[in-house]
Structure 1
Amino acid sequence: MSDRTYFSTPGGHPPQTDLLTGRAAFTTAYAVIPRGTQRDIVTSYLPFWEDARFWVLARPLSGFAETFSHYLAEVAPGGGSDRPETDGCAEAVLFVVGGQGTLVLAGEELSLTAGIYAYIPPGTDWSLRATETLTFHWIRKAYEAVEGLDTPPPFVTSDAMVEPIAMPGTEGRWATTRFVDPTDLRHDMHVNIVTFQPGAVIPFAETHVMEHGLYVLEGKAVYRLNTDWVEVEAGDYMWLRAFCPQACYAGGPGPFRYLLYKDVNRHMKL
């Protein structure tokens, strides 16, 4: 697993000679945002960020995915923010896919390079600066506090430091890199990396209450979304509402890996 790669958005614009037809889809059960649609024209800018732009891949929408937002950020050298988060209730995960920078988290200065993963609890002071063009995922959720449970502490780790856990009965062909212990009920979201070796499958249509955001970091696959089979590749994003059936067949020739968000460990709001 030492040769990991992480796709990041292409930016720019396609030439006028390109065909209009693409794979983008938005349905009542899921959305697919192909990497080719992540262009300059669809970027957003945020308060108190300098020399930074963001592709908003997911946001809460009534009747769809309602628990999280997911940005892909690009920060130019010297850019960043001393006040990145304006919502005191928001927790976050940062996952770096390219470039270099510095994260100051709860007073500790940390280097950012590809594969670094940071969890930021709500109300935590942090700042970020790029030393070379820095690209990273920023996943945000309103933290659901529970009386009697502490808020989880901030931490920083990396993809390379966490050993993937194989799904039972798969001989390691389907594995999950879990950055948080699933039994730690202080956490109300998980952001993991799922890896399929070529030819590996999810052998049934998963149907569950968790919402999902899936960004393909590497490889390609055919993914079942509701009643449709959709081809996906590195740089594509899938957005699944609760109970949307899903399955997967990894197409090869290399591993198929994606960054996965899901909401966990809380009662359903009534």
Structure 2
Amino acid sequence: MTRTYFSDWGGLPAQRNIIAGRAIFTDAYAFMPRRVQSDITASLLPGWEDTRAWILARPLTGFAETFAELIVEMAPGGGTGAGEPDPKAEGALFVLEGTMVLEVGGARHEMEPGGFAYLPPSSGWALRAGAGRTVCVWIRKRYEPVPGLEAPEVLVTRDADVAPTPMPDTDGRWSTTRFVDPADMRHDMHVTIVTLHPGAEVPFTETHVMEHGLLVLQGMGVYRLNDDWVEVEAGDFMWLRAFCPQGCHASGSEPFRYLLYKDVNRHPRLEL
């Protein structure tokens, strides 16, 4: 299977372009097509040099509750020596374009497209782009400690080095690349890659407590979101509130792959 990772955000539409677009915002989900991540919606980040970011999700009333997700674009040599600003937050990085060096725990990791890193709270990491434009995804979540369980250790791996787990009775047409052991109770979030080959589908409407962030890495699909059918393609982002009904069908001529965030493995909080 050929793996590609969309990374072409930025720019501005031409003048005299049609204003109407595909973006959708509801109480149950939000759909942000790749085109809306333009130059005028990028942000600068304190402590990062030669870097801009598109913030796809952050904790907000009526929106994401458990996580933040950013697309981070670094010019050659750009990056940060500060890493995560919140000592209680864990993170995950996934490289889409270029190369970068991650320094954490006294180790140096050279990362390229498809590279993944899990970063526990207070890990004190630093990141520096290589000789070309570098784009990565940065997912952040407040870690929920459990008495008697230590926080997970740093993990650095690659998409190509992790065998996808096929879903039962799908002949491998629907699979999930799991970077961490789903039975490891130390982890309270999972960041995975879901792959559906052309014509494959999630054949039922999932409805569950886990909140989702989905960034389409490759291909095309048709997603069922609450009461709507929404066409999606590489570079699009979806936020799904807990219990939002969801399902999808892979269209197009190449695998439909998306980076998926979900919160897991903790007792439900009984107060907001």
Same fold (TM over 0.5): yes
Q: What one-letter code is carried by the residue in structure 2 that aligns with 1:245?
A: P
- Counterparts of residues 105-144 of structure 1 (less than 5 Å): 105-131=104-130, 132-144=132-144
Task: Using the TM superposition, name which of 241-250 and 15-24 deviates more.
Answer: 15-24
Residue equivalent to 2:249: 249
Q: Provide the C-alpha distance between the structure 1 equivalents of 2:186 and 2:27, rounded to a whole number of angstroms.
A: 31
Residue equivalent to 1:72: 71
Q: Provide the C-alpha distance between the structure 1 equivalents of 2:4 and 2:93, rounded to a whole number of angstroms.
A: 17
For the Cα contact (< 8 Å) 1:9–1:38, is it kept in 2? Answer: no
The reply on whether 1:177 has 2:177 as its aligned counterpart is yes
Q: Provide the C-alpha distance between the structure 2 equivalents of 1:77 and 1:39, rounded to a whole number of angstroms.
A: 20
Q: Deviations over 1:15-69 (max 9, x none)?
A: 0132111110100100001001110100111111000010000111124320000
Residue equivalent to 2:149: 149
- Counterparts of residues 8-23 of structure 1 (less than 5 Å): 8-23=7-22
Q: Provide the C-alpha distance between the structure 2 equivalents of 1:95 and 1:122, rounded to a whole number of angstroms.
A: 17
Q: Provide the C-alpha distance between the structure 2 equivalents of 1:101 and 1:61, rounded to a whole number of angstroms.
A: 31
- Counterparts of residues 1-40 of structure 1 (less than 5 Å): 1=1, 3-40=2-39
User: Cα RMSD over matched residues?
Assistant: 0.8
Residue equivalent to 1:61: 60
Q: Provide the C-alpha distance between the structure 2 equivalents of 1:107 and 1:76, rounded to a whole number of angstroms.
A: 25
Q: Provide the C-alpha distance between the structure 2 equivalents of 1:198 and 1:252, rounded to a whole number of angstroms.
A: 6
What percentage of aligned pairs have identical amino acids?
Answer: 61
- Shift in Å, 1:233: 0.2
- Shift in Å, 1:143: 0.1
**Secondary structure, in 3 states, of the residue corresponding to 1:41?**
helix
Q: What one-letter code is carried by the residue in structure 2 that aligns with 1:68?
A: F
TM normalised by structure 1 equals: 0.98
Residue equivalent to 1:193: 193
Residue equivalent to 1:103: 102
Q: Deviations over 1:124-154 (max 9, x none)?
A: 0110111121100000000000001110000
Name stretches of at least 5 consecutive residues in structure 1 with no aligned partner: none
For the Cα contact (< 8 Å) 2:83–2:124, is it kept in 1? Answer: no
Q: Provide the C-alpha distance between the structure 2 equivalents of 1:150 and 1:199, rounded to a whole number of angstroms.
A: 42
Q: What one-letter code is carried by the residue in structure 2 that aligns with 1:254?
A: E
**Secondary structure, in 3 states, of the residue corresponding to 2:40?**
helix
Q: Deviations over 1:79-121 (max 9, x none)?
A: 1110021100010000000001211111101112100000000
Residue equivalent to 1:202: 202
Name stretches of at least 5 consecutive residues in structure 2 with no aligned partner: none
Q: How many residues align?
A: 269
**Secondary structure, in 3 states, of the residue corresponding to 1:160?**
helix
Q: What one-letter code is carried by the residue in structure 2 that aligns with 1:59?
A: R
Q: What one-letter code is carried by the residue in structure 1 that aligns with 2:6?
A: F
For the Cα contact (< 8 Å) 1:197–1:252, is it kept in 2? Answer: no
Q: Provide the C-alpha distance between the structure 1 equivalents of 2:82 and 2:253, rounded to a whole number of angstroms.
A: 42
Q: Provide the C-alpha distance between the structure 2 equivalents of 1:89 and 1:236, rounded to a whole number of angstroms.
A: 29
Q: Deviations over 1:171-208 (max 9, x none)?
A: 11100000011100000000000000000011110000
Q: Provide the C-alpha distance between the structure 2 equivalents of 1:216 and 1:229, rounded to a whole number of angstroms.
A: 16
TM normalised by structure 2 equals: 0.97
**Secondary structure, in 3 states, of the residue corresponding to 2:208?**
coil
Task: Using the TM superposition, name which of 9-18 and 131-140 deviates more.
Answer: 9-18
Q: What one-letter code is carried by the residue in structure 2 that aligns with 1:259?
A: L
